Chains A and B, each alone.
Chain A
């Protein structure tokens, strides 16, 4: 960068730094506030005394979550959903992307299949027909409804396909001359070369399945089938928004447990915080990966 120490330039430096620091704090402080509330005394939180440090520090809310069977059950549903959903999506995506990465010359049906997928990706039958379909194949109150219901993420297929296409053609040609079959080329050559894109789409799936609440809501008729986000949505958000008048709000403050809710919210954030370094590394790359093409 050019050295520039005029007064105007210094002014730009200061304004830029101040604005960016405020923006960065705005992303962190609400999360920090939630943590502080979860660690505060219940009545102090209800009275709005908690600012940016816990008031009357205690672990009561976390202790009561440890004894909450429903919370752990929902957590377990989410863990199953993330594991099965990521595995299924990854397997189907990689398998599908390989033949589609061939040119129409090498594999003539490729273009037709591609157009079908793009149509399926961009057009939707809407909520009600989808719900009726799920109902008619008995995926209500069923973990497989949550795992499979959103269908295969076609964007991921396109992402991996484009990555495969950008691998040097010579590698495959050499393998063909040595007599390798399609499975061998796919499993032993393409997959080991594709770790970054595999990590990217795996993280896409994990974040999606962890964060998704709506399918959990409409595909479950009983709380026992809720994943964690749906459980939290029903426990916290619904009650909060239903409270309207000032009197009701005050009543609600007395019965609802703000510190406990904050603790639940914070625990639901932890898995995302744990994989955040990987998300930064691969997700960010994923944005630019998609548009790369020969």
Chain B
């Protein structure tokens, strides 16, 4: 039904949201021209000098930029893999757990870290991994000396990737658990009658049952190839681990807001935004094509 007299009311309803998005999302997009300027905050965008691709050329010469792009992609890809594999395993194990009260108890607690901020969790982690903290006392009990965990560049990536998986595995398992409940129980009974062992039933019934969801989550995770998680790294890193832990977002923050290198920081940020946008568009395109996923 088409009701033209309703249109003006529809526009009124849309107005607050559109204005909000316009001011805080669309206007800043025009600010990316700073990437092509020697930006001077006193003169503003209209008064600053245009320098073409100079900021980008300078970026390519910096050793920093290779490091941060590599670190970002490396950390992000490890997280993508871990966040795909671990939740599937957890969901499969929960599905096999036959003690219902234990199952409910476990499901009640494993989502909790997802809802806590990285500020809180970093505070807790720095305590747990502190020089006199519990992890080091376990190490000592096993005959090893204590370690300054957050002072070692080679330990930073495992700590960051591990803690990210730890924070999210319960929450990420939810989609698989939802898919598992949709599997017809008669399939298991029929397989058991045919003599399939429990392990065979997992391989031939459970896994195929959640295959589409696994494919969907894999495809959608493509959008995260440059999302190493600013909040987490910003709260855990320090100059000693920059070589392995400094990422695009943290670098842009330090260059742009602390050292006032506006043009350079905007250029690096823009490059990341463009690559990120392409990856997101690609992941949604693939998800739509191969997994019948259509969120819009």
Which A residues are within 8 Å of any B CB, using their own CB? 1-2, 4, 6, 8-9, 12-13, 16-17, 19-21, 23-24, 26-28, 30-31, 33-34, 37, 46-48, 51, 91-93, 95-96, 98-100, 102, 105-107, 113-114, 117-118, 120, 122-133, 136-137, 148-152, 154, 157-158, 162, 173, 176, 181-183, 186, 207, 210-214, 218, 229-230, 232-233, 236-237, 240-242, 244, 246, 249-250, 253, 258, 261-262, 265, 268-269, 272, 276, 279-280, 283-284, 287-288, 290-291, 293
Contacts and interface: CB of A to CB of B under 8 A. Distances in A.
B150 A241 contact: yes
Interface of B: 1-3, 6-7, 9-11, 13-14, 16-18, 20-21, 23-32, 34, 41, 44-45, 90, 93-94, 96-99, 102, 105-106, 108-113, 115-117, 119-120, 122-128, 130-134, 136-137, 148, 150-151, 166, 169-170, 174-175, 178, 185, 188-189, 191-192, 197-199, 201, 230-231, 234-238, 240, 249, 252-253, 256-257, 262, 265-266, 269-270, 272-273, 276-277, 280-281, 293-296
Given A23-B110, A130-B31, A211-B120, 18 more contacts: A6-B197, A13-B96, A20-B97, A24-B110, A27-B170, A37-B127, A51-B137, A92-B17, A95-B13, A100-B14, A106-B1, A124-B25, A125-B25, A132-B262, A242-B238, A246-B148, A283-B111, A283-B115
B273 A123 contact: yes
A48 B137 contact: yes
Contact of A182 (B9, B137, B170, B257): B9
A276 B127 CA distance: 24
Contacts of B28: 124-126, 129-130, 132-133
B133 A214 contact: no
Q: Nearest 8 pairs between A and B by C-beta?
A: A129-B31, A126-B269, A48-B132, A211-B117, A96-B17, A151-B24, A99-B10, A125-B28
B181 to A, nearest CB: 11
A229 B144 CA distance: 35
A18 to B, nearest CB: 10
B273 A126 contact: yes
A2 B192 contact: yes
Contacts of B151: 244
Contacts of A91: 16
Contacts of A19: 93
Given A173-B1, A183-B9, A92 B20 contact: yes
A120 B111 contact: no
Nearest to B269: A126
Contacts of B170: 27
Given A99-B13, A152-B17, A48 B133 contact: yes
A128 B269 contact: yes
Interface centre among A92, A105, A207, A283, by most chain B C-beta atoms within 10 angstroms, is A92
Given A133-B31, A237-B119, A176 B21 contact: no
Nearest to B133: A48
Contacts of A33: 124, 127-128, 134
Contacts of B109: 24, 27-28
Nearest to B106: A24
Nearest to A150: B24
Interface centre among B13, B96, B249, by most chain A C-beta atoms within 10 angstroms, is B13
A291 B124 contact: no
A211 to B, nearest CB: 4
Contacts of A293: 294-295
B112 A31 contact: yes
Contacts of A37: 127
Interface centre among A91, A129, A272, by most chain B C-beta atoms within 10 angstroms, is A129
Contacts of A250: 131
Contact of A232 (B105, B110, B123, B257): B123
B290 to A, nearest CB: 15
Nearest to A122: B280
A207 to B, nearest CB: 6
B244 to A, nearest CB: 15
13 contacts: A1-B185, A1-B188, A24-B109, A107-B6, A122-B280, A124-B276, A125-B270, A130-B31, A151-B21, A207-B115, A211-B120, A213-B231, A261-B123
Contacts of B41: 132
A241 B198 contact: no
Contacts of A95: 13-14, 16-17
A48 B262 CA distance: 44
